[in-house]
Amino acid sequence: MYTKFKNHLTEELQSIKDAGLYKNERVITTPQKADIAVENTEGEVLNFCANNYLGLSDNPRLIEAAKKAMDERGYGMSSVRFICGTQDLHKKLEKAISEYFKTEDTILYAACFDANGGLFEPLFTEEDAIISDSLNHASIIDGVRLCKAKRFRYANADMADLERCLQEAKDCRYKIIATDGVFSMDGNVAPMDKICELAEKYDALVMVDESHSAGVVGPTGHGVAEQFNCYGKIDIFTGTLGKSFGGAMGGFTTGPKEVIDMLRQRSRPYLFSNSVAPAIVGAALETFKILGESDELHTKLMDNVNYFRDKMLAAGFDIKPTQSAICAVMLYDAKLSQDFAAEMQKEGIYVTGFYYPVVPKGQARIRVQLSAGHNREQLDRAIAAFVKVGKKLGVLKD
């Protein structure tokens, strides 16, 4: 039987390649940081496509904290939380996350994909409604699919369309609006103040995924609740430890204690997955200590974002409006985005072309992600390379 299936897969894979949609993985041989080494590439390349927003992925304090946690609490838990997989470090990290987001309690997951995948089904039934932004992350989409609640979808950050959905869902028992804080492909921020106004008007709950916004947006980088002064109005936050908060693994849901308690009882990814490893928890605790000491990393990140964005716009590139650390350099053609990324690597700049199905057809781009780990000279090198390649490939006019 596998011979037939193999032929089918081979044909499908070839069609992906023929369409210019095949994704190749480049191998990094150094720690994740602003300058990295890549297999089959001479010299260092500058990394502009990691989620390492605060530059903490290779931070010595986090590495030492991870080593200490491993020395004192072991390598792995070999268990789920409710059997024998809960250590004091897990409870300390949950408390630190709650304090950061000004919530009552937090539950840890192996990843934010699990947090979103395990959020809706334990809380809502066919009597309820989930109203989701059209550009929400795949993990939210999958989480909604696993729930029996009625589903509504509104156009990205379109408040008139959201209100339409809320009106259509008026007879449902409970309603929850689900949105990303920052939309990962475009870099735009959800208008949480307006979302919360509509939620109050139509008696709905609000959930936001802070994966790309925590550590980035807001006056001190505490996310969308800080940016829009929505503390107490956003009911549930989900997020990851794999981006701003150290860049490793792990996710979380944080919010009212009753919600978190119900997730501990019924959320399947939590109940049936190993606990987050001690080294990751120890390093994450150190991350929140660092962020509590100073706003220096966030300030540097936003300085880098503003500098890069302004220079790229001045050079003539088409960049989607952004309030985050994500700058989408629009190319629109899938093959062009791959060719552009390949040429950039020859110039010593590591970026990735994004194209369907990661973004809609005809919306291919280079997604540049800025970091507090970048210095001004590195930003200038990246901008110069973009201009050189842009002219070579006809994106920019001479």
Question: Are 249 and 111 contacting, i.e. CB atoms less than 8 angstroms apart?
Answer: yes
Nearest to 42 by CA among 312, 385, 395, 348: 348
Catalytic member of 137, 243, 300, 374: 243
CA dist 56 and 246 (Å) reads 5
Residue 70 to residues 56, 76, 83, 248, Cα–Cα distance (Å): 19, 8, 21, 15
β-pairing verdict for 236-240 and 205-209: parallel
Q: Give me the catalytic one of 184, 213, 337, 371.
A: 184
Q: In angstroms, rounded to a whole number, what is the distance separating the alpha carbons of residues 47 and 57?
A: 12
CA 290 from chain centre, in angstroms, equals: 21
Point out which residues pair with 152 in neighbouring strands.
131
212 is catalytic: yes
Q: Is 337 a catalytic residue?
A: no
Those residues whose C-beta lies under 8 Å from the C-beta of residue 147, and which sit 6 or more positions away, are 120, 121, 124, 130
184 given a catalytic annotation:
yes
Q: Which residue has the tokens 């700049």?
A: 349
The active-site residue out of 90, 137, 150, 212 is 212
Q: How many residues does the chain have?
A: 398
Catalytic (active-site) positions: 184, 212, 243
